[in-house]
A and B are shown apart, each in its own frame.
Chain A
């Protein structure tokens, strides 16, 4: 490792004790999705129902009759995570259960691509669910094919050299912010307390909550398993993946001011970026800087706006996204 970052002392991590991810799951060594789920269930606790569409977690939980989680899991079709969770919420509402969190847990393919329609619909209806996209930036479960979450320049099996991905990553949080979603945030497995806090905050809000969780994938990123958390931290500290939250599409909070290390520190640890030319890297460097300017401008604009108008009282329940 060429860069030493302030590392967390595990003794000083303030996380809930209870582990609802059990041993025997099928995640690869160094899998960020397994760590992400472990943290998510620490945050949400046993009164949680998890919905999993086709994604790595459809396998990680174990084949029938095994089950690695201490909470109920419903596996659903690829493109239906958000709406399946909404269906569960509707049933719970009819049963008078408002103490159970419904967590849709989907990969980037199931969120950015094939599941986008049902996610957009659920957010528009403000379904009372927590949706976490654990983003490893490609279709890893099928063996590393590009998704619309794959960043510029990355190698995948469907963007082989020299046809590396020329398009930038889709910005999902911004798209959902424009739905006026009550709560959208980014998070990282390298910032566990931040992620846990965001989930707990999400649980306290009525309506749709979306968390975009960046995770490492040693198999797909062509990186060392032991560096998974380190690379995730570099994604944040280089500015590639900012940590922030947006409330009602308006109120932005930047949660962590990065060290703004050079992007090469992040790129060079991942074989998927090995082929990049200095020109490519410079484009990434300038893009990161520009995205930060844009983010800061949005944050400034949000803070200068008055609060949105309140809906008529009799409809406040139906349109709670407009604020209390």
Chain B
């Protein structure tokens, strides 16, 4: 059924359709309406679940870990500070190999306080063993939540579904909400191979000496390698059922492009508008969107970018002291290409703390890039420190 709903509602509908059994969450802007919708689904009997209304995000994920260890399908959602507070347990969930699905509404980290979008909250969780999916539409959000349960439960890794604050979380779009019966066919009830069971009293999470710890970590790595293929299959299966699939990497007008913009999240949608505009000007430009970030589809990226003249990576994030995180990751994916097929790579950091990235911005970036006028790393549309100070003083 087609409905006009917010990105956050799309998350909640995905969780409802996946028949999550235990939800534990704590409110934080701009995530809050996800759990409000879920509380309402539970109260109205539209979702048979226990909602544990915890006193912090740390406890939210701890409750999910307990419930998942006992074999329940679980869900939580958060943003920024909440995700950072969970960090210890983010590692724990992956180390315990629990198929938890978490929605993070990308929000910039404090200080200063910001409720607006950027990707540093989720990218700070990059090395925890979680899978990460960056969405560009509300429809994709709903579909990805359902897909994530299927993939997570197959490879026993948790998944973070990521959507931009406000540009996605609070924007109303037309979303096709699938029938329960269709989702039930796609996603069978969870049956974990190992769980807390008084008939088989095992111990989970015991002390591990150096002779075995590494083997457990190696298994996480193997699961991630397997997950790349599983994401592909699950996405294709969903496509056969609904007509919608997204791939690990989503590209637009790249085949004949000379210069390609690579990004993640909603700026990729905006970039399509800019690309269409520049194509009219005769510039051969295209967009690649990184959707599944962990496991990292490096080979897919290399395939789609090989032979392009230039790639501009647009990062709504920064690894301070180095450069944008998708920029670094793309660079690592392209390194193995033969030199003649390897594009020139530049990085642009833009839109931190929710600053708008308009089609005009992206067109200007691509235009400069096409003319070879972009520095290897640049910050877009940013005041210099003395200009900023002047502007602040002028306010007083």
Contacts and interface: CB of A to CB of B under 8 A. Distances in A.
B291 interface: no
Contacts of B205: 74-76
B50 A94 contact: yes
Given A48-B198, A71-B198, A77 B59 contact: no
B97 to A, nearest CB: 13
A90 B72 contact: yes
B22 A90 contact: yes
A138 interface: no
Given A74-B205, A90-B50, A85 B66 contact: yes
Contact of B206 (A75, A83, A84, A87): A75
Nearest to B209: A63
A87 B56 contact: no
Contacts of B70: 49, 87-88, 91-92, 95
A91 B66 contact: yes
A120 interface: yes
Contact of B89 (A47, A51, A72, A77): A77
A85 B65 CA distance: 10
A84 B67 CA distance: 8
A74 B69 contact: yes
B62 A67 contact: no
A87 B198 contact: no
A8 interface: no
A59 interface: yes
A100 B56 CA distance: 27
Q: Which interface residue of A66, A94, A95 has the most chain B CB atoms within 10 A? A: A94
Contact of B56 (A88, A121, A124): A121
Given A77-B92, A91-B66, A67 B202 contact: yes
Contacts, number: 156
Contacts of A75: 203-206
A76 B204 CA distance: 9
A127 B202 CA distance: 24
Nearest to A26: B207
A200 interface: no
Contacts of B48: 94
Query: A83, A87, A124: which has the most chain B beta carbons within 10 Å?
Result: A87
Interface of B: 21-22, 24, 48-50, 52-56, 58-59, 62-72, 74, 88-89, 92, 196-198, 200-209, 212
A73 B96 CA distance: 13
B58 A88 contact: no
Interface string A58-83: 11011111110111111111011001
Interface of A: 46-49, 51, 58-59, 61-67, 69-77, 79-80, 83-88, 90-95, 100, 117-118, 120-121, 124-125, 127
A86 B198 contact: no
Nearest to B53: A125
A318 to B, nearest CB: 11
Contacts of A94: 21-22, 48-50, 72
A73 B200 CA distance: 11
Nearest to A52: B205
Interface-centre pick from B55, B66, B202 (highest chain A CB count, 10 A): B66
A118 B72 contact: no
A87 B52 contact: yes
Contact of B66 (A66, A88, A125): A88
A81 B220 CA distance: 25
Nearest to A67: B203
A125 B198 CA distance: 26
B66 A64 contact: no
Contacts of B200: 72
From B50, B62, B68, B72, residue with most partner A Cβ within 10 Å: B62
A152 to B, nearest CB: 30
A65 B205 CA distance: 10
Nearest to B50: A90
B196 A67 contact: no
A7 to B, nearest CB: 34
Nearest to A20: B201
6 contacts: A58-B206, A64-B203, A64-B212, A76-B62, A88-B69, A90-B24
